[in-house]
Structure 1
């Protein structure tokens, strides 16, 4: 018995990737570089290998953060963190990830391996990178263990969910003039570089003080937020803009297909529900110093949340490539609901948590949540890859001779 039903597997052969990229930076600056860069890779290298290489570089960045600051920042602005030169490696690593993530599709067309498996694998790696970069960027911005870091996690995950939701309903991946995979990543790279030069404390300076606008009368009426918090406010406006643009695209596609355009909006609620569960867990009252946001459990909690999110959007992408119903419920939420309810028992019934009654018990439970989240997502990846490769007769990390000689390969290939 496979993970994907037989009738859904049959839809894989009907799938074809469609994408729109309106980014000026991508078109005139990065794409010429990517087109050259992909030619450096032998045809014997599978596109998924390139994708996985990029994610591995991001993991290296993440582990360097843990090496120099194993407990993460004790509070906002509360620790020195890694040496400044490390942030330059993060910038280089993220640029490498962006480049490798961009050329895997080009390599797939070069080798005749373009198809639904590459779409699944690419988006799966992107989903994990989203959480890792949210943590790293919050560290570079000197946000530390704070609700601003939580807000950063929610905003980045929301943007990714929104893009996947839009692709499911429109049938194409739409990247606007300013998108997360292009301009968003470049913005984070710039943050790493600035932090490398001036250190994380640079971002605690007031925005109007740095820009020397604080003496302008109407500016004085505005809150003079630190640079890091100002960046988060800017991100909130960016998220709102993306929501409007994505819905406009979905509404246009639904009207063209003669389908109701309001129903897709209800499918945004699964993300709201999932995020609300995690926020409720984080909002637990302080009991025996076990509050997650004030403890070393903060990073493993965010990682577990990210893995659960990757499982959620992974099922959405699978539904897209197999033309099946949009997944609304994810059973892994049950575990997080238990954790959130238990942590908030002092609010609910006025008694101490049962499971997370002490700091030690809370630590065990959160790390167990991380392990379970990893196993659930790893199981999903293995089973889906196994089903797709077996049904389509392809390999995940190997380029076969029949791929190179297949109908997808053309002598006049243009990356």
Structure 2
């Protein structure tokens, strides 16, 4: 499949990166740290993309390490595993922040670097969710699904915002900066407390809040993990709403249709209609095979984000179609027919359904890999 046409190559060469980072932590702490200290450890001969890939390697090591000790996402690990996750995530953030400095220093800035950087970040999304779920002992449950929902939605909408405004905007508080640093602290604290089971205690009781009569018992007994989902849901709502308002405002200022960009959110709606439907119809996958399924959903999101970035770079029309959704849609139809008595299921609910998930993961990796290679060759 051709992702960049010959007539679009001049647009690619004309591309200039535009970004706004309003984070105070980034401006006064991280950027001075990167510019005055970290960048000195990288030789001029090292390619910026090699720095990005090395940073991603730390997350991959964290992923396999924590899954080795906690494959079901609901068991405590040795404290050093959580500490290594904190260090690995911080190194990933650091390398991700330094690659742009290295690109400017070596005069290698270009659209390929942005595409590669976003591609790595997109792949990291699902890995990060599973590492977090394992560290919090969320298990193979709807809590992990909700965490994946929030993470993939945030990344998709941020890229959607960049596509329509032509500027990557990071707010005063953003996931790539404050969000990552918060996770580093959480992982470090989990190591100090001896395991993820700590987060299943009542938060209000643990922090010393008296059990007042006006506090319902089910609220008082809510664990840290449950409060996290509530807190994350509130932040997600305001983040998505602010992005939508921002895009519509920019479009109005430019004299463009402010409603049309909203259609670009429909692929995201499609994904998150099919994902819970499939897991509801196939509880075996939800309860036992969330790791490969989460990775598959992560690749669906990575492919969508990658194509958005590609379209942004060459000023092409918005890519609504995502071929990686086709197997999931067919699986939902297959399962729904059996549940409602319309037709027998081809995959069933046993070994063929499990094999289907693994095949989807392999297919998604192949398609996404071919997309990245194709764009690099075309460029």
TM-score (norm 1): 0.87
Worse-matched range after superposition: 263-272 or 144-153: 263-272
Measure, in 2, the Cα distance between the counterparts of 1:257 and 1:20. 19
Query: What is the match of residue 294 of structure 1?
Result: 287
State the Cα distance separating 1:103 from its structure 2 match: 0.8
Worse-matched range after superposition: 256-265 or 51-60: 256-265
Matches within 5 A, 1:305-320: 305-320=297-312
Matches within 5 A, 1:250-269: 250-269=247-266
Query: What is the match of residue 65 of structure 2?
Result: 64
How well do the aligned residues superpose, as a CA RMSD in angstroms? 1.6
Aligned length: 376
Query: What is the match of residue 86 of structure 1?
Result: 81
Measure, in 2, the Cα distance between the counterparts of 1:2 and 1:243. 31
Query: What is the match of residue 365 of structure 1?
Result: 356
Matches within 5 A, 1:147-226: 147-198=142-193, 199-220=195-216, 223-224=219-220, 225-226=222-223
Question: Does the residue aligned with 2:10 lie in a helix, a strand or coil?
Answer: helix
Q: Deviations over 1:171-217 (max 9, x none)?
A: 11100011010011111111211211111111011121122224345
Confirm or deny: 8 A CA contact 1:213 1:219 kept in the other structure: no
State the Cα distance separating 1:81 from its structure 2 match: 3.8
State the Cα distance separating 1:359 from its structure 2 match: 2.3
Unaligned runs of 5+ in 2: none
State the Cα distance separating 1:139 from its structure 2 match: 1.2
State the Cα distance separating 1:358 from its structure 2 match: 4.5
Unaligned runs of 5+ in 1: 74-78, 389-415
Query: What is the match of residue 374 of structure 1?
Result: 365
Query: What is the match of residue 90 of structure 2?
Result: 95
Query: What is the match of residue 406 of structure 1?
Result: none
State the Cα distance separating 1:82 from its structure 2 match: 2.4
| Structure with the higher helix share, 1 or 2 | 2
Query: What is the match of residue 326 of structure 1?
Result: 318
Matched, 1:29 2:29: yes
Matched, 1:7 2:4: no
Confirm or deny: 8 A CA contact 2:338 2:345 kept in the other structure: yes
Matched, 1:132 2:127: yes
Measure, in 1, the Cα distance between the counterparts of 2:248 and 2:203. 38
Q: Deviations over 1:291-340 (max 9, x none)?
A: 21111x21001111111111111000001011000111112211111122
Matches within 5 A, 1:40-79: 40-70=41-71, 72-73=72-73, 79=74
Measure, in 1, the Cα distance between the counterparts of 2:335 and 2:40. 53
State the Cα distance separating 1:253 from its structure 2 match: 1.3
2:335 to 343, 366, 371: 343
Confirm or deny: 8 A CA contact 1:140 1:191 kept in the other structure: no
Q: Which runs of 4+ in 1 moved over 6 A?
A: none
